[in-house]
Amino acid sequence: MHIACNQRVLLDLSTWRKILILKPNFFNMLATAQAPLWEGCENHSELSTSLEALSLKSDYNMFEGCFNRTVPLIGETMPKDHQMVNNFFQAKSVEKLGLGCKKIDCCPKRCMLYYREKYHKSITNCFICGMERYKTVTRRGIEKKIVVNKMWYFPIIPRLRRLYFSMANAPHMR
């Protein structure tokens, strides 16, 4: 049995059940995206300020402690009924949208990816250039191996699914 949406997008009932049951956070985030930061605020929502704060943290390489001290200070300057996040943990709730990323180890010269971790954990040198995958770092007297270089991969399929969620965008996706 299919449900027709705008005569172009067809989704069966099992797909809708998966969307509604497995992704309730998406709809909660949509609600926070439309709710104002405080009563009468027209410029920002809780979601927009969270994203803006995370963007500032990333752009200026803020430490988590600095972020956790700065955000409450900003919140204190707002009216008492504001919905501003209080710390990094709350701001990171944007990840619940399902638009995460995967960190993939790669060669420092970017000639090889160590993609399938369960198969390539034991590989320590690049097959092409021979450079080491890990470097040894000593912190507080403990030696630890950390990856020299990482790549951030943003899967496209969850992003396309989000575009199809919107009835306004779905007809234009063909």
**Token representation of residue 6:** 């705008």
pLDDT, tens digit, for every residue of 9-47? 445 555 655 555 555 666 676 676 778 888 888 888 887
Residue 88 sits in the same domain as residue 110: no
Same domain, 86 and 62: yes
Contact (CB, 8 A) for 67 and 88: yes
Q: Cα separation of 162 and 170, whole Å?
A: 10
In a domain, 14, yes or no: no
The verdict on 120 and 135 lying in the same domain is: yes
What are 79's two structure tokens? 């009216």
Confidence class for position 55, pLDDT limits 50, 70, 90: confident
Provide the domain count of the chain.
2
Residues β-bridged to residue 144? 137
> Which residue carries 């995958």 as its tokens?
133
pLDDT digits (tens, 9 = 90+) for 96-124: 666 677 888 889 998 988 887 666 678 88
List all residues 6 or more positions away from 100 whose beta carbon is below 8 Å from its beta carbon.
158
Q: Which residues contact 143 (CB under 8 A, 6 or more apart)?
A: 136, 137
> Is residue 166 a part of any domain in this protein?
no
Specify if 41 maps to a domain. Answer: yes
